[in-house]
Amino acid sequence: MGNERRCVVTGLGLVCALGDSVDKCWNAAANGVTGIREVTTVDTTDCYANMGAEVEARSSELSSENYDRSSLLCIKAAGEALADAGYSADCFDSDRIGVIIGNCVGGAASIDKYYTDEIKNGNADTSDILKMPASAIANNVAKHFGLNGATANIVNACAAGTMSLSYACDLIRSGKADAFAAGGSDSFSSLAFSGFHALHALAEGPCSPFNKSNGITLGEGAGILIIESYEHAVKRGAKIYCEVLGSGVSSDAHHITAPRPDGQGQMSAIKRAIRNSGLEFTDIDYINAHGTGTAKNDEAEFLSLHTLFDGNDHVSVSSTKSMTGHCLGAAGSIEAVFTVKAVCEDTVPPTIGYNEEDLENLKEKAGSIDFVPNTKREKPVNYAVSNSFAFGGNNASIVFAKNPHDIPDNTNKQRVFVTGIGELLGASDEAGKGLRCDITGDDYKEHGIKMAFYRKLDRFSQLQLISGMRALADAKITVDEANENDIGIIIGTADGPMTEIVGFQKNTILNGTANGSAFSFPNTVYNAAGGYFSIFAGIKGYNVTVANGIQAGLQSICYAADVLHSGEESIMVASGTDENTDVTYELYEKLGYTESFRLGEGSVSIVLETEESAEKRGAEKLCEIAGTSMTHKSVEFGTLRGSEDAMKRAILEACESAGIAPDEISAVCGFADGNKTVDDIERAVYSEVFTKDIPVISVRNDIGEARAAAAAQQAAYAAKLLKNDSEGKYNYILAVAAGVGGSYSAVVLKKI
């Protein structure tokens, strides 16, 4: 295959309950050593379970920076991976190496600390607020190591770590980066323990995947892989562990916590990964399974594996979660590190926990598949798969190979059009707490949303569902069996379901870990909104939620356009969604932000479609997405000052992507929100980039600082201006958005 399509692994970093380095963790996993023991960091009084897989280093080794524990774990693993890859300023252009991190519920340890201090001591540290959002993690890693390439925080719960690796490869193959520090991180927390306890999903003893299947054991940790273009790796003389071939992402569109019993969503992700790798199912030597240990997950995965791999007489399967516990957003990347080691060492780590009776039962369930009980299997491992499945019905699969292999080039240069817009934005100012959306029964009746379904949703998910359905209706798209796998979703958010997270955490603090709410817990994960949207709409394609600050709503459009150009889907719904409740307003108020802007809320969804799909449907085209760019300049999370260079690069790269000069831009939909520092930065960069005065439009004058929703609205507003421009005032409109910490997204929209 052409070297320009090759992605390779050049560095590994790992910390989990098995150890604080790749070598320690791998040696333990390969030899069936468990890291599961009694929980010490969460109060398990009155809980029916008290087992966990905690990282032993909880103080000095992980407190060198004033970050949340999820960030510290990630920095620990990233440091090892970057050193392993031989990272230095001499061999990497920092603008071309980015950070993509998977996570489940953000800074859970800091959320616990802040509200424990507030409730029990009456005096919480406001600096902990900036440690809460998942948006901070990739920014903190980038800041620590001085990495200035594109950043993203993928927050699709237990599939997030694998999705981050997939997206890193896509961006490298498209020429938008040389390398990424990609993976996932999550810390042990009372929130997660209480939540899974409320669902009665925890095992009383150590978890027993593919065996007793009586529950999960929670773990924590971080896994980071340095994924690099082959050409760049060779140019700098890097060692290469293995190749990364294809990946696949899909949705179950079934249930917010349970997998489809028929395994169709899981199989879709695996099929996509195998197809995109140019392989056959009979080529695979090893599968690191999701293997959580719950009955429903294990049953669905057993079915998926048998359906796809029963004709393969040499495939081995194991679940390393039997030793590491389930590390949530870090699980996929931790298991990816183990999968890479399996390929390099020709060794399959076992699933532990089988007694003699269990082994007899396994023979009946396993069939021709080798499930590697208790003891490692030494065998040639040329091609290996790592699977991750998550709440919300999100699935991801990725393939690693010992040697290069021709992979199909499904990328295309098709034009991408906006064919639908759905908006739900704040209009009323309630009690001086910013703008909020007026949601009535008509809003959900409009799309046949039944109260029984709607009642399950938190506000964040309600906003997303309404705008998403409005966008599909505006584009005249009916989801059915013919197109359900050809439509995908990217949701951008700054704060996610923070109201639900805080409410659940407060309840845990007040009433104890044993008394969490089984109704509320599923809504504490950032990707619940995307899960509910896919379930209701019946969308079974690509589904990712990205949390990267205020600009995430525009980043979702960049991401969605990338997915369309990769050939994975024909239609994408790109959204920006954030809520303004009493909880979110209070947090922003304590940070002093509400003094300079009005907080808003809402959800804006935009349908993006390839030219072929739009023509085939006879869709009305509002405008073209002519160019996109994502950039970053590492500054402290919570600030923008010092990141001006990244904003300039975003504008210039988006214009270059569109094939135009900056002065061909007719107008800018900017991100000014009333904050003087932010406004000054924006004006200064425009004066540097453009040689003439260009009109700058601020949507936030009307909708407030609705964060990701406002960023998406910048593009939606521009699309409508272009569509309705009968006077020929506009040919190209630039939408540019900023996220605290130095992340920027820019989109050039073109009149048709």
Q: Could you list the residue range(s) of the whole structural domain that residue 131 is in? A: 7-401
Looking at the domain assignment, is residue 519 inside a domain?
Answer: no
Q: Are 223 and 336 in contact (CB under 8 A)?
A: yes
| CA separation for the pair 681, 129 (Å, rounded) | 24
| CA separation for the pair 548, 139 (Å, rounded) | 8
Please tell me whether residues 360 and 431 are part of one structural domain: no
Q: Give the helix/strand (H/E) hosting 16.
A: strand 7-16
Higher pLDDT, 1 or 235: 235
Please tell me whether residues 316 and 435 are part of one structural domain: no
Q: Which two tokens stand for residue 487?
A: 């439509």
Q: Are 87 and 79 in contact (CB under 8 A)?
A: no
| CA separation for the pair 750, 669 (Å, rounded) | 13
- Determine the average pLDDT of the residues in 719-734: 96
| CA separation for the pair 536, 143 (Å, rounded) | 39
Q: Which two tokens stand for residue 595?
A: 């003094």
| CA separation for the pair 330, 393 (Å, rounded) | 17
pLDDT at 71: 97
Least confident of 356-365, 481-490, 674-683: 674-683
| CA separation for the pair 711, 295 (Å, rounded) | 41
- Determine the average pLDDT of the residues in 440-457: 90
Q: What CATH number does the domain containing 641 carry?
A: 3.40.47.10
Looking at the domain assignment, is residue 531 inside a domain?
Answer: no
Looking at the domain assignment, is residue 142 inside a domain?
Answer: yes
- Determine the average pLDDT of the residues in 114-128: 95
DSSP per-residue string spanning 471-482 = HHHHTT----TT
Residue 70 — very low, low, confident or very high, per pLDDT cuts 50/70/90? Answer: very high
pLDDT at 119: 96
Q: What is the pLDDT of residues 89-98, one digit of tens each?
A: 788 889 999 9
**What amino acid occupies position 672?**
A
Least confident of 197-201, 274-278, 517-521, 670-674: 670-674
Q: Give the helix/strand (H/E) hosting 305.
A: helix 295-309
**What amino acid occupies position 40?**
T
| CA separation for the pair 73, 61 (Å, rounded) | 10
| CA separation for the pair 153, 135 (Å, rounded) | 6
Any residues with CB less than 8 A from the CB of 388 and at least 6 apart, and which?
158, 159, 160, 161, 162, 163, 290, 331, 332, 335, 395, 396, 397
| CA separation for the pair 101, 577 (Å, rounded) | 20
- CA dist list (Å): 1 to 15, 185, 202, 229, 403: 34, 33, 46, 13, 12
Of 336, 369, 401, which residue constitutes the final position of a domain?
Answer: 401
Find tokens 């359900």 and name the residue. Answer: 484
pLDDT at 209 over 70: yes
Please tell me whether residues 44 and 126 are part of one structural domain: yes
Instruction: Tell how strand 435-436 and strand 571-578 pair up.
Output: unpaired
pLDDT at 73 over 50: yes
Higher pLDDT, 342 or 91: 342
Q: Give the helix/strand (H/E) hosting 288.
A: strand 286-288
pLDDT at 496: 97
Please tell me whether residues 318 and 428 are part of one structural domain: no
| CA separation for the pair 44, 113 (Å, rounded) | 17
Please tell me whether residues 352 and 466 are part of one structural domain: no
DSSP conformational letter for 228: E
Q: Are 696 and 667 in contact (CB under 8 A)?
A: yes
Please tell me whether residues 396 and 453 are part of one structural domain: no
| CA separation for the pair 556, 554 (Å, rounded) | 5
Looking at the domain assignment, is residue 521 inside a domain?
Answer: no
Q: What is the pLDDT of residues 266-301, one digit of tens each?
A: 999 999 999 999 999 999 999 999 999 999 999 999
- Beta-bridged to residue 627, according to DSSP, are 748
How many residues can be counted in the chain? 752
Please tell me whether residues 576 and 725 are part of one structural domain: yes
Of 342, 366, 401, which residue constitutes the final position of a domain?
Answer: 401
Q: What is the pLDDT of residues 552-570, one digit of tens each?
A: 999 999 999 999 999 999 9
| CA separation for the pair 628, 556 (Å, rounded) | 11
Of 370, 401, 432, which residue constitutes the final position of a domain?
Answer: 401
- In the chain, the number of structural domains is 2
Find tokens 């453009």 and name the residue. Answer: 690
pLDDT at 60 over 50: no
Instruction: Tell how strand 394-401 and strand 416-425 pair up.
Output: unpaired
Please tell me whether residues 217 and 347 are part of one structural domain: yes
- Determine the average pLDDT of the residues in 64-70: 85
- Beta-bridged to residue 604, according to DSSP, are 423, 576
Average pLDDT, the chain: 95
Task: Give SS3 for 384.
Answer: strand
Please tell me whether residues 326 and 434 are part of one structural domain: no
Please tell me whether residues 420 and 320 are part of one structural domain: no
Q: Are 524 and 195 in contact (CB under 8 A)?
A: yes
- Determine the average pLDDT of the residues in 496-518: 97
pLDDT at 62: 60
Task: Tell me, rounded to whole angstroms, the distance of Cα 34 from its chain centroid.
Answer: 28
Task: Tell me, rounded to whole angstroms, the distance of Cα 76 from its chain centroid.
Answer: 20
Looking at the domain assignment, is residue 98 inside a domain?
Answer: yes
pLDDT at 364: 86
DSSP E strand stretches across 458-518: 487-493
Just list the catalytic residues: 158, 290, 326
Looking at the domain assignment, is residue 175 inside a domain?
Answer: yes
| CA separation for the pair 342, 522 (Å, rounded) | 34
Residue 742 — very low, low, confident or very high, per pLDDT cuts 50/70/90? Answer: very high
Please tell me whether residues 196 and 283 are part of one structural domain: yes
Please tell me whether residues 388 and 467 are part of one structural domain: no
Looking at the domain assignment, is residue 532 inside a domain?
Answer: no
- Beta-bridged to residue 737, according to DSSP, are 745
pLDDT at 1 over 90: no
pLDDT at 92: 85
CA torsion sign, 666 to 672 to 676 to 681? Answer: negative
Looking at the domain assignment, is residue 236 inside a domain?
Answer: yes
pLDDT at 59: 45
- Determine the average pLDDT of the residues in 571-598: 95
- Determine the average pLDDT of the residues in 574-593: 96
Find tokens 């969503």 and name the residue. Answer: 265
Q: What is the pLDDT of residues 613-644, one digit of tens each?
A: 999 999 999 999 999 999 999 999 988 899 99
- Determine the average pLDDT of the residues in 36-63: 86
Q: Are 559 and 545 in contact (CB under 8 A)?
A: no
